[in-house]
Amino acid sequence: MGDIGTIFGGLTGKSKDDFSNGNARYASYVNVFKNIALNIGADDFVKIAPSESQRTLRHGDIVFTGSSETPDEVAMSSVVTALVNEPIYLNSFCIGYRLNDPEILAPEFSKHLFRSDAIRSQLIRTASGVTRFNVSKARLAKVKIPIPEMVEQKRIAAILDRFDSLVSDISFGLPAEIKARRQQYEHYRDKLLSFAKLEATA
């Protein structure tokens, strides 16, 4: 990842008071953790002064949670799949990643890719800790990702989006049916994204 993109941090110099009656949207830790596609319309606001120099998120950016109490939940990803029409900032507990050439990965493909077992197994190894696990940006830069042809990316994304929509459509159904549909989606996601085995270098 380090060869084809830039890793960056979130908001700096903010206090708890800055998150009361804010004037600009920001991507919260929970937003990143829960959504494979970032909810850029979430009602999370922070105070940003006109003179501040803070990095904003762009369409195609991939963001990761920077820490977790359990290793299995560290570095959960979310992708900015929607066009951003207003400044949106990243919280300080997450890590951003921006491709040098945004045309090489379709955001709709990325949102599934970075949640797949093949990439998650690498992302988990970027963190270390005892009671809390924190992602190392240096290790994150060494994660290897596949870059299929754009036509293939769009084909895979379309299939997985249909499965994901099916799961969402039955979200008010029986728990067993919801679980079965979620497992089906995860099965096909990992099958479709099982490119040649990738291993991050230590």
pLDDT value at 90 more than 50: yes
The mean pLDDT of 1-12, rounded to a whole number, is 97
Residue 116 parent element (H or E): none
The pLDDT value given to residue 176: 61
Read off the amino acid at residue 44: D
The mean pLDDT of 91-120, rounded to a whole number, is 96
C-alpha 199/C-alpha 123 separation (Å) is: 10
Mean pLDDT of the chain: 90
Helix ranges, the chain (H)? 29-34, 107-113, 117-124, 137-140, 150-169, 175-192
Tell me which residue has tokens 């060494």.
142
One CATH from 3.40.50.300, 3.20.20.450, 2.40.30.10, 3.90.220.20 for 5-143: 3.90.220.20
- Of the pLDDT bands very low, low, confident and very high (cuts 50, 70, 90), residue 79 is very high
pLDDT value at 194 more than 90: no
pLDDT value at 195 more than 80: no
- Of the pLDDT bands very low, low, confident and very high (cuts 50, 70, 90), residue 186 is confident
21: its two tokens: 């009656």
- Of the pLDDT bands very low, low, confident and very high (cuts 50, 70, 90), residue 62 is very high
pTM score: 0.84
Contacts of 14 (CB under 8 A, 6+ apart): 46, 92
The pLDDT value given to residue 83: 95
The mean pLDDT of 175-195, rounded to a whole number, is 73
Domain ranges, ordered by start, for the chain: 5-143
The mean pLDDT of 91-104, rounded to a whole number, is 97
The pLDDT value given to residue 199: 52
pLDDT value at 72 more than 50: yes
- Given a contact cutoff of 8 angstroms between Cβ atoms, the answer to whether 141 and 125 are in contact is no
Sign of dihedral through CA atoms 18, 77, 154, 198? positive
The pLDDT value given to residue 189: 76
